[in-house]
Structure 1
Amino acid sequence: MLYFTRQSTRRVLLSAALLMMTSWAASVHAQTIPTKRWSASYPTTGAVVIPAGENVLLDVNLNVTTLSILGRVVCDNKNMSVTARWIMVHGELRCGTATTPFLHRLIITLVGTNAVEDVMGMGTKFLGAMSGGILQLHGATRVNWTRLAATAAKGSTRITLQLAPSWRVGERIVLASSDYRPEHAEEVAITAIAGNVVTLSRPLTYTHWCQTSTFGTATLQECAEVGLLSRNILIRGDAASVTAGFGGHTMVMSGSVAKLSSVEFFQMGQRGRIARYPFHWHMVGNAVGQYLKNSSIHHAYNRFVSVHGTHSTLLANNVGYDTVGHGFYLEDGIETKNVLSANLGLRVRNATDGKPTPSDRQASVFWISNPDNTIRDNVAAGAEDTGFWLGFPEHPIGLSTTPAVWPRRTALRDFTGNTSHSNGNRGLYVDGAELANRTTTTTWYEPRQNPADGNSLIVTPVFRTFTAYKNRNEGVWIRSFAGPVLAGAKLADNWMGVYLANLVSGPAYTNLGIVDSSLVVGETGNKGNPETWETKGLDGRELPRFWSPGDSIRGVEFYDGPMAVSRTVFANFQSNTQRKSGGISSLAPNSFNVSSRNFSQAISFVNANRVYLHDLTPNNSGDAFSTFLDSDGTVSGTAGRKIVPKNPVLVTPLCTLNALWNAYVCPHEYMNLQVHVASGESLVGTSLRRDDGASVALASAEGYPWSVNTNLITERPYEVRFATVAPKIIDFVVPEKPGKAVRVSMLYPPSAFTVTRWGSPVYRASSLAELTSGGHKYFYDGTRLHLRVVNPSGTWEEVRVRRP
């Protein structure tokens, strides 16, 4: 039995009171403890204003018309709800802190259907901060998302996770799709949990895959993500939001501060409306220290998060599920030094009406419009179009328009460790930047040391440790002038692994696009969830292009160039009776130029047809002349051999046909020759004939009827045969391979003509025999003009033939 004196009792009670006060003070994290309780000082209905200088403890439920906070409002430690048409914060709204989160339940419901109302530029149905407003909401710390530890089969009611997340019964989670259909993401409730095993409220409709596979020394993990949607702080649109997609929105304007963690956004965003997003920094400028993290945004109507005219924010460990239009969105191309880290986005739908921007018809999970941002360890797990869309405009657009900033020439700050799967189009797309009218156009990324100087040195962009699987088209598509490097990538189950449209540019003219130290897998054990009505693979698997089941599956395609594939493993590329397959290929059909400097080195193969080149098709000289060098013999078995298509003017008796590759292995040196008609005549009907009689039709590049592109055997005589008389001004261009030469002839009228190199006369030989060596030369025999065109330095070299 314990006995207390009156003094000891007083001491115990005093200590308890002090402890309670300390705990309460810490929980509200007040510089000044609130001096008023809402329940005793302010109404809970109607239009309410908290005056400047007031310091109020929110301790009661509110059902107000509107709420203006000019002073300071701090949440009490209790469950509460706030319902309003809009909430404007000019002072401060605080519920929990970064060190002492709010652990009870707070529900903020934004109501209304009046789309015309516009309060201070924020519209209506919003939680907003402006004119110095501070918004701080910190919910309970949670495990936001993880991955499956084992495949969850269709019909399962239990899943096993890679870690024990301490989620709770009744909370809602979402399982990402692990096939080609983003709509196969599934939302379920938790009915029981024991460690890392979660029991679900219903059987799964689809199989969600998890497997780690080993190919030689390389490993690939395909495991569906599982995200937590529930949080104890909830900001939501009302039930009426569903009808027209007119939900609530959160907006933080210039001069204001937002720090949010562990907040749930539900039925937020206003469909098709500019600046009406679930969460939105709007023209804040420098926002160092501001963040949205550990939160969920789901069942939204317009994006997940927009960072607009704002720099240095942190978006980390958020889960975005089910929205319309681009998900995590850097808006104008001026936004820099933001950090997007470990965010999970899934089920992103196209905006069929092209609103708020035309590109939203091709929605991406991550839209990045300036490369000077950190994009690390994020997952794009299912957009109807693209996972990561990096489209860099020449200059910022929209409200941030300025000619002084050059996103397209800005260096890539950090793109590392990101994953993209289950997208309807591409995993990573570096191309298609916006114009001033928000339509997109083909763009070449060319980062330079001084973005304002288009002649300054190139800065090589490196995309590190990117994973892409189950994308219907390309795992990676990069268009660049800068020699991009895709390093340590893991690509699997894509229709095409890598499309690298790299073009060289001055002044060095040597920028090399590289796929390096990567793993590229044609097909894994993940057969997906094919619909009953769609065409399947021979083993029952879901095909990336079920509508065209005969389309070949390829790993890395050579295109443009120069380009290299180095230290890369290709696995499980096997042709069958349904479709062809090959680890290394070339883009087809393709009418554009392909560099003769493309090469492979240090390649290894596991259960893979090493190469597959397509049959020649009409009007496509690009793939007809696409060759690559096997520099060390790890593809063909003999170092220095060239892999060439079945083009008769490239193949000789010294070449060997590999039927499985649909290609020849040749010992010859090939060199790029481009024929451009500067006088504008069409080259339709032009053909090429080798000195032994082998010939092939030449096709101009799409949209360029005055230009054809070839790769020819060096020093071997070829004849260009025009459909009619030779054009008046013809440029013969050899853009690469220093010290090498091509020989070409053509029927030419006996009128006066000139042959020049950059305006200076080219040496006229006295006999055809003189053309076998030396520099630029020509010989005219009265009916035929013979040229020797040499590249002395490895840069663009041009010889012009001109007649009256």
Structure 2
Amino acid sequence: AIRRGATLVLDDAPIHLRVKEIVVEGRLLAGGAACPVESPVTISFVAEKSESGFNNGLNVREAGVADLHGARRSVVWTRLKATADAGAEVVVLQDAVDWGSGDELVFATSIWRDTIENENEVRFVRARARSNATVLSLDRPLNFRHYGGHEYQSEVALVTRSILLRGGLTASAHLAGYGGHTWAVGRRATYRMVGVRAHRMGQRNVMARYPFHFHMMYEGGIGNYLQQCAVTNSYFRGYTIHGTNRTLVRKNVAYNTTGHTYYLEDGAEMLNTIEFNIAIKVNILGDPASGGAQDGETFDESDEAILPADHAASGFYLSNAHNWVRGNAASGGWAGYSFPVFDTSLKLSAHLGVVP
């Protein structure tokens, strides 16, 4: 634990921490807005589900501070400028990028229903053209065609980050969907992350165990942010705003997540800025909802889906319209965007009586 008054600073050097839980009541610092960490820093969450004494999380509480600033990139996702056919080893992007050799990319499918035919692909950059920063060569050919015509274009997202949080390291943890998680709890906590990747994080179908999570911060969300982060192969959700107002979630990537990915939990969340993010390949929990519109069969809370709405998991679950939402993209899921209608705010926010 990092107790009140204490500070742990992670140097800009290759570092690997193995933890079962981190409690932050003091300060946890890695880089800063003006001096981001360029070296690879990894925090592995290694507790097993059977270890009840640890929650396998980064827990920022009271007046604790978690400031993790990894390397910034000029672009974290873009779209194809031209169709990349199956067998292609060179792709042309719409935007010039600073992606280089060894960087990991996700190519979004350009067909319908990737849960049935998964044509999303992961590749690594072999090289970027010296004369044209929109042209990349890949480590191996694409298996599928990714469309880049005038009507629409497949998205391409960078998931490499200099700071890596990872879980699900053992076969038993992976089978149980038991990864690490991070959250900031309460009005006084500080939770600022840039250039951080969460891989195999979240805990499947467990409330409040998500890769990134603002939790009941109320107006304390001001000045807190998630920017240029990445969530990959998540066991539960991606970016959760719960009972928190005025945060910034900007230019983030999510790939292969389970449950709603960018998630406003109770319907009381307001004045948050959610912009220029992308969700690729969103997986439902349990059996899929059916029906030609969002009024199909009814689901109740169950062991397979503690939130019934995850039977119809979406890229963006926006339970309150009083937020700034723009420039985002969704590929996959039961729906790209879900707009649930509540009479009043729910659960931990029910006492607020907010009408979304």
Change (3 A) 1:164 1:308: same
Structure with more relative contact order (C-alpha pairs < 8 Å, separation 6 or more): 2
SS at match of 2:152: strand
SS at match of 1:360: helix
Hey, what's the Cα distance between the residues in 2 that align with 1:293 and 1:326? 19
Change (3 A) 1:104 1:247: same
Q: Which residue of 2 aligns with 1:272?
A: 205
Q: Which residue of 1 aligns with 2:276?
A: 342
User: 2:148 is matched by which residue type in structure 1?
Assistant: C
Aligned with residue 164 of structure 2, among 210, 228, 234: 234
Q: Which residue of 1 aligns with 2:323?
A: 373
TM-superposed CA distance for 1:299, in Å, is 0.6
- 1:165 paired with 2:97, answer yes
The answer (yes or no) to whether the contact 1:249–1:277 under 8 Å persists in 2 is yes
TM-superposed CA distance for 1:403, in Å, is 6.8
TM-superposed CA distance for 1:80, in Å, is 0.9
The answer (yes or no) to whether the contact 2:261–2:279 under 8 Å persists in 1 is yes
- 1:201 paired with 2:157, answer no
Hey, what's the Cα distance between the residues in 2 that align with 1:344 and 1:199? 23
The answer (yes or no) to whether the contact 2:319–2:341 under 8 Å persists in 1 is yes
Aligned with residue 214 of structure 2, among 281, 284, 294: 281
Q: Which residue of 2 aligns with 1:128?
A: 59
- 1:405 paired with 2:354, answer yes
Aligned with residue 153 of structure 1, among 67, 71, 85: 85
- 1:390 paired with 2:346, answer no
Change (3 A) 1:276 1:74: same
The answer (yes or no) to whether the contact 2:2–2:25 under 8 Å persists in 1 is no
- 1:249 paired with 2:147, answer no
Hey, what's the Cα distance between the residues in 2 that align with 1:337 and 1:356? 27
Deviation readout 1:236-292 (Å, 9 max, x if unpaired): 114123222101101110021101111111010001111101111111111111000
The answer (yes or no) to whether the contact 2:255–2:279 under 8 Å persists in 1 is yes
- 1:89 paired with 2:33, answer no
TM-superposed CA distance for 1:201, in Å, is 2.2
Q: Which residue of 2 aligns with 1:678?
A: none
The answer (yes or no) to whether the contact 2:260–2:310 under 8 Å persists in 1 is yes
Hey, what's the Cα distance between the residues in 2 that align with 1:133 and 1:261? 18
Hey, what's the Cα distance between the residues in 2 that align with 1:51 and 1:357? 34
Hey, what's the Cα distance between the residues in 1 that align with 2:112 and 2:193? 33
Deviation readout 1:307-340 (Å, 9 max, x if unpaired): 1111111000000000111110000010101110
SS at match of 1:184: coil
- 1:261 paired with 2:194, answer yes
TM-superposed CA distance for 1:354, in Å, is 4.4
- 1:307 paired with 2:241, answer yes
Deviation readout 1:397-440 (Å, 9 max, x if unpaired): 11111373211xxxxxxxxxxxxxxxxxxxxxxxxxxxxxxxxx
Deviation readout 1:375-414 (Å, 9 max, x if unpaired): 100001111x00010112000111111373211xxxxxxx
User: 2:336 is matched by which residue type in structure 1?
Assistant: G
| Bigger share in strand | 1
User: 1:373 is matched by which residue type in structure 2?
Assistant: N
Deviation readout 1:81-102 (Å, 9 max, x if unpaired): 1110011110010111112211
Hey, what's the Cα distance between the residues in 1 that align with 2:105 and 2:161? 11
The answer (yes or no) to whether the contact 1:152–1:207 under 8 Å persists in 2 is yes
SS at match of 1:399: helix
TM-superposed CA distance for 1:196, in Å, is 1.6
For the aligned residue pairs, the C-alpha RMSD in angstroms reads 1.4
Deviation readout 1:353-379 (Å, 9 max, x if unpaired): 642311101110000111101110000
Q: Which residue of 2 aligns with 1:79?
A: 14
User: 2:307 is matched by which residue type in structure 1?
Assistant: T
User: 1:291 is matched by which residue type in structure 2?
Assistant: Y
Q: Which residue of 1 aligns with 2:295?
A: none
TM-superposed CA distance for 1:188, in Å, is 1.1
The answer (yes or no) to whether the contact 2:79–2:155 under 8 Å persists in 1 is yes
Hey, what's the Cα distance between the residues in 1 that align with 2:50 and 2:324? 36
Q: Which residue of 1 aligns with 2:296?
A: none
TM-score (norm 2): 0.89
Deviation readout 1:140-176 (Å, 9 max, x if unpaired): 1112111111000112111111122111211210011
Hey, what's the Cα distance between the residues in 1 that align with 2:313 and 2:218? 26
TM-superposed CA distance for 1:77, in Å, is 2.5
TM-superposed CA distance for 1:52, in Å, is 4.1
The answer (yes or no) to whether the contact 1:91–1:133 under 8 Å persists in 2 is yes
The answer (yes or no) to whether the contact 2:261–2:314 under 8 Å persists in 1 is yes
Change (3 A) 1:363 1:118: farther
The answer (yes or no) to whether the contact 1:173–1:187 under 8 Å persists in 2 is yes
TM-superposed CA distance for 1:116, in Å, is 5.7
Q: Which residue of 2 aligns with 1:104?
A: 39
The answer (yes or no) to whether the contact 1:263–1:294 under 8 Å persists in 2 is yes
Bigger-Rg structure (1/2): 1
Hey, what's the Cα distance between the residues in 2 that align with 1:404 and 1:164? 47
Deviation readout 1:479-507 (Å, 9 max, x if unpaired): xxxxxxxxxxxxxxxxxxxxxxxxxxxxx
Hey, what's the Cα distance between the residues in 1 that align with 2:191 and 2:352? 30
User: 1:371 is matched by which residue type in structure 2?
Assistant: A
SS at match of 2:178: coil
TM-superposed CA distance for 1:118, in Å, is 5.4
TM-superposed CA distance for 1:197, in Å, is 1.5
Change (3 A) 1:50 1:394: closer
The answer (yes or no) to whether the contact 1:81–1:108 under 8 Å persists in 2 is yes
Hey, what's the Cα distance between the residues in 2 that align with 1:328 and 1:115? 29
Q: How many matched pairs?
A: 329
Deviation readout 1:444-475 (Å, 9 max, x if unpaired): xxxxxxxxxxxxxxxxxxxxxxxxxxxxxxxx
Hey, what's the Cα distance between the residues in 2 that align with 1:406 and 1:77? 46
Hey, what's the Cα distance between the residues in 1 that align with 2:113 and 2:351? 40
Hey, what's the Cα distance between the residues in 1 that align with 2:89 and 2:113? 21
User: 2:23 is matched by which residue type in structure 1?
Assistant: M
Hey, what's the Cα distance between the residues in 1 that align with 2:71 and 2:96? 17
Hey, what's the Cα distance between the residues in 1 that align with 2:216 and 2:2? 26
Q: Which residue of 1 aligns with 2:153?
A: 223
Change (3 A) 1:285 1:84: same
- 1:138 paired with 2:69, answer yes
Hey, what's the Cα distance between the residues in 1 that align with 2:330 and 2:353? 32
Q: Which residue of 2 aligns with 1:640?
A: none
SS at match of 1:274: coil
Q: Which residue of 2 aligns with 1:329?
A: 263
Percent pairwise identity: 36
The answer (yes or no) to whether the contact 2:4–2:64 under 8 Å persists in 1 is no
TM-superposed CA distance for 1:300, in Å, is 0.4
SS at match of 2:311: helix
